[in-house]
Amino acid sequence: MSVTGPSPRSTTPRTVLISGASIAGPALAYWLHRYGFAVTVVERAPALRTGGYKVDIRGAAIEVAERMGLLGDIQRASTDMQTGAYVNDDGKRIATLPADIFGARVGRDDEIMRGDLARILYERTRSDVEYLFDDSITSITSITSTPSTTSITSITSITERADDHREVDGVTDFDGADGIDGVDVTFEHAAPRRFDLVVGADGLHSTVRRLAFGPEERFVRHLGAYISAFSMPNELGLDREELYHAQPGRLICAYSSAGDPAAKGLLVFRSPRLTYDHRDPQQQLKLLEAAFEGVGVADSPAGGWGQVPRMLEAAREAGDFYFDGMQLIEMDRWSHGRVVLLGDAAHCPSPASGQGTGMALVGAYVLAGELAAAGRAPEEAFGRYEKEMRGYVAVNHALARKFAREMTADTRRQIRFRHLMMRILPYLPWKNVIAKKIAEDVQQAALAITLKDYPVPNRAAARPTYAA
């Protein structure tokens, strides 16, 4: 890796608390440790979350993975998906294409199960980073000081003052950020502690964002659909293949990845925004069952693939059941004082984009690099982090809006037309051109940022080693 630019202004260890141990949090912890920060990651789950659906690593995210030395690990854990096919109500394959066309992957792009990537990141950081599982943040209080006094300011007050901000040499400078010396944090279980910085990398329903910026409803933009993913028995005998079945307003998918004896189910349905507890799987299961009621049931007017009732049964039994809206997070800023957001907490692009994981890796690289370059001026780092990321995020949000509309068809006529186009594509003389065009929007979004080279210390970061 080529390294250019000035050395970090200070090698003084700084303490950072990261909320969230999925992808963005451990990726940031990796880089911050290399820059000499002392990092703690707090995670609500009692252990590392190893479930989830398959995720794509494309474009700039591939470059970040390579700079982290993770690309080989990702390739070895690849889903190695071979084909994708649409099936009719009887489960007969009516159109089959290479899986890379379905996934809009080109070149070194790859696909991995989210849980496998989380495990890889955790294994790379567990000895250098303090992990607090089965715990979460309950309050954040910023500590401000002057040469003669120290005062405690609630994060709510900082939020109000930060509404007045200005641009200085392209860096957002928030009034009220100057003079902040650290952040006092309380936890559900652990004793209170003080950190220099707090990072919310805790996903779409971020606790840090709620505490520091306000209610989630202010920032969520619903894209008109819901998605559920879960493990299921591989009764179809799938081997690195994904099967899709379309119904008006619904999309059903079953697939298997390399080395996994089980299969995964994916159910998508259109709906206005629903009211439910995002931590209550029983409420979510009821909504999912209502959306697919009668689909695939013999003699039902709804028609549909006969596998759907078995998939719903598997969802009820799955230990990794996931359900959430296709939603964007849109915010005017991602930092207040010494608190900053990363990944889905800052700019969730929804599963419709297929870019959330890649954006998390890229964002972690940029945020850590800017913090290292800015030394003891984190407010400057936060401004430059946003400046680097904003265009990239905007392009991927636009991609999500487009794909959220296209994932489900309105009518059976539209579905039949799609099937026809897929059946004839392999026989068209210009099929490669069409395949390239299919991937064009995704590739442009994946490459919509130019990665800077940040200064990396030549020495090993002198940080404590934590017990596993």
pLDDT band at 370 (very low <50, low <70, confident <90, very high): very high
* Separation CA 256–CA 418 (nearest Å): 23
Give 328's strand partners: 221
pLDDT tens per residue across span 21-39: 999 999 999 999 999 999 9
* 3-state class (DSSP) for residue 327: strand
* 3-state class (DSSP) for residue 182: strand
pLDDT at 435: 74
Decide if 224 contacts 404 (C-beta within 8 A). yes
Q: Which DSSP symbol is given to 139? A: E
3-state helix, strand, coil in the chain (%, to 5): 35, 25, 40
pLDDT band at 13 (very low <50, low <70, confident <90, very high): low
* Separation CA 101–CA 105 (nearest Å): 7
Residue 156 has pLDDT above 60, yes or no: no
pLDDT at 158: 37
Cα–Cα nearest to 95, from 443, 442, 426, 381: 426
pLDDT tens per residue across span 40-99: 999 999 999 988 899 999 999 999 999 999 999 999 999 999 999 999 999 999 989 999
- Cβ neighbour number for residue 411 with a 10 Å cutoff: 10
Q: Report which of residues 154 and 39 the model is more confident about.
A: 39
Nearest 10 degrees: Cα torsion 109, 342, 401, 167: -120
* Separation CA 345–CA 334 (nearest Å): 9
pLDDT at 457: 63
Q: Is the pTM of this model over 0.95?
A: no
Residue 271 has pLDDT above 70, yes or no: yes
* Separation CA 341–CA 345 (nearest Å): 6
Angle, vertex CA 324, rays to CA 366 and CA 437, nearest 5 = 60
pLDDT at 41: 98
Q: Report which of residues 463 and 230 the model is more confident about.
A: 230
Decide if 372 contacts 454 (C-beta within 8 A). yes
pLDDT at 10: 41
pLDDT at 145: 63
Decide if 103 contacts 139 (C-beta within 8 A). no
pLDDT at 377: 86
Residue 121 tokens read as: 């990141």
pLDDT at 143: 86
Q: Which DSSP symbol is given to 44? A: S
Mean model confidence pLDDT for the chain = 88
pLDDT at 299: 86
Decide if 341 contacts 200 (C-beta within 8 A). yes
pLDDT tens per residue across span 285-302: 999 999 999 999 988 888
Residue 310 has pLDDT above 60, yes or no: yes
